[in-house]
Amino acid sequence: MAMSNITGSFQLMKSLNRSLVLNKIRSAGAVSRAEIAKETKLTPPTVTKLVGELIESNLVKESDMGTSKGGRKPVLLTINDRQFFAIGLDVGARKIRGVLTDLNAKEIVNDQVDLHKDISSDELTMLMIKMIKSLITVSNVKKEQIVGVGVGMHGIVDNEKGVARFAPSYHLREIPIKDSLKEAVNLPVFVENDAKAMALGELWFGAGRGFDNLICVNVGVGIGAGIIFNNRLYHGNNSVAGEVGHTIIDLNGRKCSCGSYGCLQTVAGGDSIAERAIRELSFGRKSLLMNKTSTRDEISGELIYQCAIEGDELSQDILSETGKYLGIGMTNMINLMNPAKLIIGGGVSKADNFILDPLKEVVSKKALTDEVKNTDITKSELEDRATVIGAVTIVLADLFTPDLLNLK
């Protein structure tokens, strides 16, 4: 299909403006009709009408009076955040987290459950359903008030079909999450890759606010990226976009779980951190890690973060090296996609700046032009809640900014 296949119509016009107004209210927190008119370039009568409909549908409410600027006081409008709610699930390698939030993604209740490695598709689905039901029960919210369920799932996800194509942590394939949950709880369900959910979460509620073109990288055992163009998630042609962990940065590197050699993941993924520590220790290097563990298996990324913060030199060195490798991967990504902002999330958030600083240094040395050398790089603001809030955000995005222009 060539072209921006968008047919202009009255519905489009109205939907566009409705979204515009709704989103202005959402992103501003509280605005008057007059200000909306000014900022959206809609006329006051139009804004009045649209706001009226939004109030009618209970999405928006009039709240306080604003301060006068020399005339009549403005009536401030806010999202009616006690009327509707959204549910988000973060289906990670070792546990499922869940939250039920209001329309500002403010948490009302949360829940979590541990997973075992050899869980089956049915068990997993069942746990998700159970959690959704529990969140609803505990929060004491009516089901009609819930606008949808978002799922941030690790691995390869087909977001259109709502299927987890491949979940490496439990070696499961083709889990029909959307269909299963939809049938069980009778709510709209959205399924998305965890890094993509995270990116959307950071865009709306975290470090990405105000940007419309960013990349958020989830560094854990795997390394995935969520790419945002024009305020929307970019999925690519087969929902595979963002697999930065499997970009090759070392032709002669070690074999990766994907079969290739020298993937970023093999030198900067969570497992590689622990392996590097074990190797260094076997060379006889001293470290706090020795005092805190009795067997090799106890050495984990988290522990190394902890020790680094406590001043352990080996741990710091390891994280620094990880940061450098990660920096290479990020530089490649920056040279290719030139995002306005790069957000680093996942376990790394816990590693203070031991990873981030060397990462930034590599980018500032190796990226191509002065402008991209200075790419704005920060760590996740939502930290370990990024994916679950991101999952909620998928639901909110559908509510607040429906994809009117059928951009893929």
Partner DNA sequence: AGATTTTAATTAAGTGGCATAAAAATGAAA
Partner DNA sequence: TTTCATTTTTATGCCACTTAATTAAAATCT
Query: Considering beta carbons, is residue 126 or 372 the nearer one to a second copy?
Result: 372
Binding of a second copy at residue 156 (CB under 8 A)? yes
* Interface stretch with a second copy, choices 115-123, 181-189, 268-276, 332-340 (CB under 8 A): 332-340
Name the CA dihedral angle for 364, 357, 343, 114, rounded to a multiple of 10 degrees.
Answer: 150
Binding of DNA at residue 10 (CB under 7 A)? yes
Residues 6 or more apart in contact with residue 29 via CB below 8 angstroms: 78
Query: Considering beta carbons, is residue 239 or 387 the nearer one to a second copy?
Result: 239
CA–CA separation, 171 and 121 (whole Å): 10
Tell the smallest beta-carbon distance from residue 31 to DNA (Å). 8
- 84-123 positions binding a second copy, by CB under 8 A: none
Binding of DNA at residue 54 (CB under 7 A)? no
* 44 interacts with, out of a second copy, DNA, none, CB within 5 to 8 A per kind: DNA
* 257 interacts with, out of DNA, a second copy, none, CB within 5 to 8 A per kind: none
Would you call 254 helix, strand, or coil by DSSP? coil
CA–CA separation, 333 and 345 (whole Å): 16
Tell the smallest beta-carbon distance from residue 396 to a second copy (Å). 12
CA–CA separation, 15 and 17 (whole Å): 5
* 337 interacts with, out of DNA, a second copy, none, CB within 5 to 8 A per kind: a second copy
Ranges of beta strands (E only) in 57-167 are: 60-65, 75-79, 85-91, 95-102, 107-114, 146-153, 156-158, 163-167
Q: Which of 4, 5, 9, 369 binds DNA (CB under 7 A)?
A: 9
CB-based contacts of 123-127 (< 8 A; 24+ apart in sequence)? 124/91, 124/170, 124/172, 124/175, 125/175, 125/177, 125/180, 125/181, 127/96
Instruction: Look up tokens 């929902």; give the residue.
Output: 239
Query: Considering beta carbons, is residue 128 or 221 the nearer one to a second copy?
Result: 221
What track of x and - describes contact with a second copy for positions 234 through 263 (by CB under 8 A)? xxxxxxxxxxx-xxxxxxxx----xxx-x-
Q: Are strands 146-153 and 85-91 parallel, antiparallel or unpaired?
A: parallel
* Interface stretch with a second copy, choices 137-145, 209-217, 288-296, 384-392 (CB under 8 A): 209-217
Instruction: Determine the size of the site formed for a second copy (CB under 8 A).
Output: 83
Binding of DNA at residue 45 (CB under 7 A)? yes
What track of x and - describes contact with a second copy for positions 310 through 329 (by CB under 8 A)? ------------------x-
Residue 220 phi/psi, 5-degree rounding, is -140, -135
What track of x and - describes contact with a second copy for positions 11 through 30 (by CB under 8 A)? -xxxxxx-xx--xx--x---
- 65-104 positions binding DNA, by CB under 7 A: 65, 68-75
Tokens representing 283 are 């060379």
- 158-177 positions binding a second copy, by CB under 8 A: 165-166
Q: Which of 1, 4, 8, 56 binds DNA (CB under 7 A)?
A: 8
Q: Which among 361, 387, 357 is positioned nearest to 373, based on CA atoms?
A: 361
Q: Which among 377, 333, 387, 376 is positioned nearest to 355, based on CA atoms?
A: 377
- Binding residues for DNA, rule: CB under 7 A, are 7-11, 13-14, 17, 32-35, 41-46, 48-52, 65, 68-75
